[in-house]
Copies of this chain bind each other. A is one copy, B any other.
Amino acid sequence: MERIPILKMGEFLLVSIQVDMHDRLALQLQDDLTERIAATSARGVLIDISSLEMVDSFIGRMLGNLAAMSRVLDAQTVVVGMRPAVAITLVELGMSLPGVRTALNVERGMDLLSSSADLQVPGREHGAGLR
């Protein structure tokens, strides 16, 4: 497995992280995601981490970087599916995931993205969210 798939769903992109991240894979994901945002004019990115049993500083930094890169490409990022144990560990480690918005699951993340996309682009003609 050399790449993490990026699924296009309406105006959003969904990235489901299921494998152990390492440097090269993280860089590959950055490249792939930014390219897909540019190619698809995506308004939002959902990163699902429900498979991850641990979020360390490396993963936290990667999530922050992905969110920052998406932001300058005019796409919002929401991290979804964090396990309760992961949230506990994050806070105990003093990691607050700065610049990263979170939602409980994919559906709530989509709602969040839809509402913020609506706020920012009141005049656009196509509806927010998925058909």
Contacts and interface: CB of A to CB of B under 8 A. Distances in A.
Contacts of A3: 51
- Work out how many copies of this chain go into the complex: 2
Nearest to A80: B7
Chain A: interface secondary structure? loop
Contact of A16 (B7, B10, B81): B7
Interface stretch (A63-71, A84-92, A102-110, A116-124): A102-110
A9 interface: yes
Contacts of A107: 8-10
Contacts of A7: 14, 16, 48, 50, 81, 105-106
A16 B16 contact: yes
A19 interface: yes
B48 A5 contact: yes
Interface of A: 1, 3-5, 7-10, 14, 16, 18-20, 48, 50-51, 81, 105-107, 110-111, 129-131
